[in-house]
Amino acid sequence: MVSYNNSSTTNSLNGVSSKTPHLTPNTYTIMPTMNLTTNGIDLTTLTGESRRGEISGYHRKPSILMKNAAERSDINSLPQSARERLFFSDRLQLQSKYTIGFEIEKSSLHRAAIREYALFCGFETDSSCGYEAVTNVLPLLPASAWRSKVYSLFSEARHIIDDTHSPSSTRCGGHITIGVDGMTGAELMERIRPYVGIILAIYRKRLSNDYCSRNPQLVNNWSEQSVNGHCYRANRVRNYGTSDFNGFDAKYSVCRLKSNDAATIEFRLPTRVRSVKALMRRYELFYELVDAAVTGKSYASFVAAIKPILMRMYGRDADKVTFLLDLAKRFNKFVQDGQITERIVFYLQGHHQLTGDYTGDMSQFYSRSLRRMIREEGLNNTEARVLNEWSA
Amino acid sequence: MSNLHNHEAVALANVEAFDIDRYNALDEEATEKTKEGFEASLKQCAIVKAASEWYDTTEAQDYLAEEGVTFDTKEDFINRALNISKGWAYKMIRSASLDVSKIREYKRNCTELEAQGERPARSIAALLKFAKGESQSTAKALATFSIAKDGLNGDGGFSIRITAEGEIKMSGAIENQNIAYNVQKLFGKLQQLLND
SS (H, E, C) chain A: CEEEECCCCECCCCCCECCCCEEEECCCCCCCCCCCECCCCCCCCCCCCHHHHCEECCCCCCCCCECCEECHHHHCCCCHHHHHHHEEEECCEEEECEEEEEEEEECCCCHHHCCCCCCEEEEEECCCCCEEEEECEEECCCCCHHHHHHHHHHHHCHHHHCCCCCCCCCCCECCEEEEECCCCHHHHHHHHHHHCHHHHHHCHHHCCCCCCCECCCCCCCHHHHHHHHHHHHHCHHHHCCCCCCCCCCCCCECEEECCCCCCEEEECCCECCCCHHHHHHHHHHHHHHHHHHHHCCCHHHHHHHHHHHHHHHCCCCHHHHHHHHHHHHHHHHHHHHCCECCCCHHHHHHHHCCCCCCCCCCHHHECHHHHHHHHHHCHHHHHHHHHHHHCC
Specify whether A256 is located in the same domain as A367. no
User: Which of A335, A356, A376 finishes a domain?
Assistant: A335
Q: Does any domain span residue A381?
A: yes
Inter-residue long-range contacts of A255-259, CB under 8 Å, 24+ positions, other chains counted: A255/A189, A255/A192, A255/A196, A255/A215, A255/A218, A256/A215, A256/A225, A257/A185, A257/A186, A257/A189, A257/A220, A257/A222, A257/A225, A258/A185, A259/A222
> Are the Cβ atoms of B66 and A277 closer than 8 angstroms?
yes
Q: Does any domain span residue A218?
A: yes
Specify whether A294 is located in the same domain as A357. no
Specify whether A104 is located in the same domain as A173. yes
Rounded distance between C-alpha atoms, residue A103 and residue A339, angstroms? 31
What is the percent of chain A where pLDDT is above 90?
46
pLDDT grade, residue B136 (50/70/90)?
low
pLDDT grade, residue A37 (50/70/90)?
very low
Specify whether A284 is located in the same domain as A358. no
Is A47 a residue whose pLDDT tops 50?
A: yes
Residues of B in contact with A2 (CB under 8 A): 6, 9
Taking each helix axis as running N to C, give the angle between helix B6-13 and helix A145-156, from 0 to 180 degrees, rounded to the nearest 10: 90
Q: Supply the pLDDT for residue B133.
A: 76
Rounded distance between C-alpha atoms, residue A307 and residue A320, angstroms? 11
Q: Supply the pLDDT for residue A217.
A: 83
User: Which of A300, A319, A335 finishes a domain?
Assistant: A335
Is A286 a residue whose pLDDT tops 90?
A: yes
Highest mean pLDDT among A15-29, A74-88, A90-104: A90-104
Q: Does any domain span residue A270?
A: yes
Provide the residue range defining the domain that includes A345. 339-390
Q: Supply the pLDDT for residue A9.
A: 33
Specify whether A320 is located in the same domain as A370. no
Cβ contact B7:A152 at 8 Å: yes
Specify whether A171 is located in the same domain as A297. yes
Specify whether A360 is located in the same domain as A227. no
Contact status of B2 with chain A (Cβ, < 8 Å):
yes
Chain A residue with minimum CA distance to B81 = A22
Q: Does any domain span residue A8?
A: no
Rounded distance between C-alpha atoms, residue A379 and residue B6, angstroms? 56
DSSP B149: T
Domain count, chain A: 2
Specify whether A116 is located in the same domain as A170. yes
Tell me the average pLDDT of chain A. 79
Rounded distance between C-alpha atoms, residue B36 and residue B42, angstroms? 10
Query: Who wins on pLDDT, B114 or B140?
Result: B114
Does the ipTM exceed 0.85? no
- Using CB atoms within 10 Å of the CB of residue B176, give its burial: 0 to 12 exposed, 13 to 18 middle, 19+ buried: middle
Q: Does any domain span residue A16?
A: no
Rounded distance between C-alpha atoms, residue A241 and residue B14, angstroms? 55
Is A28 a residue whose pLDDT tops 50?
A: no
Q: Supply the pLDDT for residue B137.
A: 56
> Are the Cβ atoms of A21 and B3 closer than 8 angstroms?
yes
Q: Is A271 left (phi over 0), alpha (psi -120 to 50) or beta?
A: beta
Which residue among A1, A4, A145 sits closest to B72, beta carbon to beta carbon? A145
pLDDT, tens digit, 9 for 90 and up, residues A292-316: 999 999 999 999 999 999 999 999 9
Q: Supply the pLDDT for residue A360.
A: 52
Q: Supply the pLDDT for residue A365.
A: 79
Chain B residue with minimum CA distance to A19 = B3
User: Which of A335, A355, A376 finishes a domain?
Assistant: A335
> Are the Cβ atoms of B5 and A155 closer than 8 angstroms?
yes
pLDDT grade, residue A246 (50/70/90)?
low
Tell me the average pLDDT of chain B. 86
Question: Within a 13 Å sphere around the CA of A333, how many CA atoms are in the beta-carbon half?
Answer: 15
Q: Does any domain span residue A95?
A: yes
What is the percent of chain A where pLDDT is above 70?
77
Q: Supply the pLDDT for residue A21.
A: 32
Contact status of A82 with chain B (Cβ, < 8 Å):
no
pLDDT grade, residue A178 (50/70/90)?
very high
Q: Supply the pLDDT for residue B135.
A: 59
pLDDT grade, residue A242 (50/70/90)?
very low
Q: Supply the pLDDT for residue A244.
A: 47
Q: Does any domain span residue A42?
A: no
Which A residues 45-74 touch B at CB under 8 Å? none
Q: Supply the pLDDT for residue A391.
A: 63
> Are the Cβ atoms of A155 and B72 closer than 8 angstroms?
no
Of A87-101, A237-251, B70-84, B95-109, which gets the smallest average pLDDT? A237-251
- Distance from the B27 Cα atom to the nearest Cα atom in chain A, whole angstroms: 15
Specify whether A329 is located in the same domain as A368. no
pLDDT grade, residue A79 (50/70/90)?
confident
Which residue among B6, B69, B72 sits closest to A2, beta carbon to beta carbon? B6
Specify whether A181 is located in the same domain as A330. yes
- Distance from the B15 Cα atom to the nearest Cα atom in chain A, whole angstroms: 17
Specify whether A380 is located in the same domain as A270. no
Q: Where are the alpha helices (DSSP H) in chain B?
A: 6-13, 20-30, 35-55, 58-66, 74-82, 86-96, 100-115, 124-131, 179-195
Chain A residue with minimum CA distance to B10 = A155
Mean pLDDT of A262-290: 95
Q: Does any domain span residue A246?
A: yes
Contact status of A114 with chain B (Cβ, < 8 Å):
no
A50 Cβ neighbours under 8 A, 6+ residues apart: A116
Query: Who wins on pLDDT, B1 or A114?
Result: A114
Specify whether A299 is located in the same domain as A380. no
Q: Supply the pLDDT for residue B61.
A: 95
Query: Who wins on pLDDT, A381 or A190?
Result: A190
